[in-house]
Amino acid sequence: MVTLVNLRSYWRFLVVVYQFFPLIVAYARDRRTYLLFGGSRTVTAEMQSERAEILLDSLLTLGPTFIKLGQLLSTRPDILPPQYIDVLSSLQDDVPPAPWEETKQVIEEELGPVDEVFESFDNDPISGASLGQVYTAQYDGDDVAVKVRRPGIESLVEADLRVIRWSLPFIMRFIGQGRAFSLENLADEFAKTIRQEMDYSRERRILEQIQSNFNGNGTIRIPKPVEERSGPRVLTMEYLPGTKINDLETIDMEGIDRTELATRLQRIYLQMIIDDGVFHADPHPGNLAVDEEGRIIFYDFGMSGRVDPFIQDKIVDFYVAVANQDIDGILDALVEMGTLSPEADRRVMGDVMELAIADARGEDIEQYRVQQIIEQVESTIYEFPLRLPRNLALVLRVATVVEGVCVTLDQEFDFISVATDYLREEGYYEETAKEIVADTGRQMQRTTEAMFTVPPKLDRVLDSVERENLTVNVRLEDKNNVLDKLARRIVYGLLLAVGVLSTAILYAFDQTSVVPAAVAAALTLPIIIQLYRSFRKKRGLKTTPQFTRQNMRQQRGED
């Protein structure tokens, strides 16, 4: 039975195809210059930037779901080239509010008559986004903020999610196998994320958890939720007014130390990610404010992330390795996090990391900024065997956005210095050192054991050789199917020889009739074609381009 959601999905699919049609034609022409024939064409950075602008306009036109998709894509440099990431990073989740009568219906379906559940209610929203909007009201004598899910958004999101799923097979025709895998995972992640963001009961639980993590910390304020006036589509919480964190003039007038404020903000996020494992994942200036006492206020926990203990440990290892310029340590952390393939060329990737650090640092290693390093690493993710596991992409996004806010507060802000001090104060440096000593001890133990176990084993092997009783098992790894191709060619060659010989014999014995010889020749023709095709297939190995300082200059537009 065809449901309304299905009908809406079919219609939305046509709308999406129409909106993206110029990009579809452009990508098709990249593969075949004249669509049906012709060679592939080179896509320049300027062409990618132009296409990214077209993509941005299309996402804005298609509405809430696709705006959220664009925001998520802006955190995935393993799927999109750097030019797309730069353009999509500016995507703002700011749309006109829904009519009050429609919003009022949502509130009353969730809580009851507005006049009865609140003492007063301001019908004009103080902020609006694609999935919800926020109003101010009074409850139990206190000012509260009421976040309401946008009317009718559920059916639109579900229809759009189906459209995205239907579109994946077509999109994958234009991208490589590795990115196709990442894109399919991204679609699953996006469906889960946007449904979570629409569930205000989940957001309330996140609020309460992060509040408990910062109990006793007087430098941070998180709105307290009002449970009895909240539900899956409405979230009522404490109203905390403040000055936007990027309003430098007002912050200076209030006598707040901006350097100390930036340092405190960075340390709060380090605690969320490294210590607590749950973090506010949308730290743009619209969601951060400062009160008169200099306390940092956090708004909108709809976008949040979790980090499991293993990844927390690896993030610490990564920061320590970056601070110490330990290239092997950086690569080991990336491999263990699942970001870098274990089969990657460590020499090439080591050069990437060395160039990134050398390009970003100043006279003192403590003066370079993590954002510069992340930007260089992100610019290589699209070209190298790097992948971003779920939520690690959010961690990267948070790291860069937070530092952008911190640099706005203090142009000389030093992320690595703050992170290093935090890790030392929390004892992570000592823990890392203990782990290294323990690993060294275990390695020495294994080496010592080998000194006693290897000689007897070697002696037994030599005895087997002397008795001519040594058997060696050899396993060949043939990832490119070279042996299979060789076997096929040998078989085709033998069949061809038999076919040619049979044709010659039949023709020689019965020259009065060429039919038998013609039949034999006809049977031999497909074999000739198959043998010819086996030699026409592309040979050689696919190689990864070397990353050089010249590549970095080209990406920055330098000579």
Collapse the DSSP code of 282 into the 3-class scheme (helix H, G, I; strand E, B; otherwise coil) and give the result.
Answer: coil
Q: What stretch of H or E contains 19?
A: helix 4-31
Q: Could you tell me the two tokens for 179?
A: 């990115």
Cα 268 to Cα 238: distance, rounded to the nearest angstrom? 21
Look up residue 273 and give its two tokens.
């990610």
Across 320-353, b (16+ Cβ under 10 Å) vs e yields bbbbeebbebbbbbbbbbbbbeeebeeeebebbb
Active-site annotation holds for 282: yes
Distance of CA 215 to the CA centre of its chain: 32
Residue type for position 150: R
Which residue among 78, 93, 160, 282 is the active-site one?
Answer: 282
DSSP, collapsed to helix, strand or coil, labels residue 283 as: coil
For residue 414, give every residue at least 6 positions away whose Cβ sits within 8 Å of its Cβ, in sequence order, or none: 366, 367, 369
Residue 56 burial (CB count, 10 A): 18
Q: Tokens 């829904």 belong to which residue?
A: 98
Three-state DSSP class for residue 371: helix
Are residues 155 and 125 in contact, defined by beta-carbon separation less than 8 angstroms?
A: no
Residue 110 burial (CB count, 10 A): 18
- Separation between Cα atoms, residue 317 and residue 431, nearest integer Å: 10
Residue 266's Cβ-side half-sphere holds a number of Cα atoms within 13 Å equal to 30
What would the two tokens of residue 376 be? Answer: 């260089």
Residue 282: count of CB within 10 angstroms of its CB? 22
Give me the active site residues, please. 282
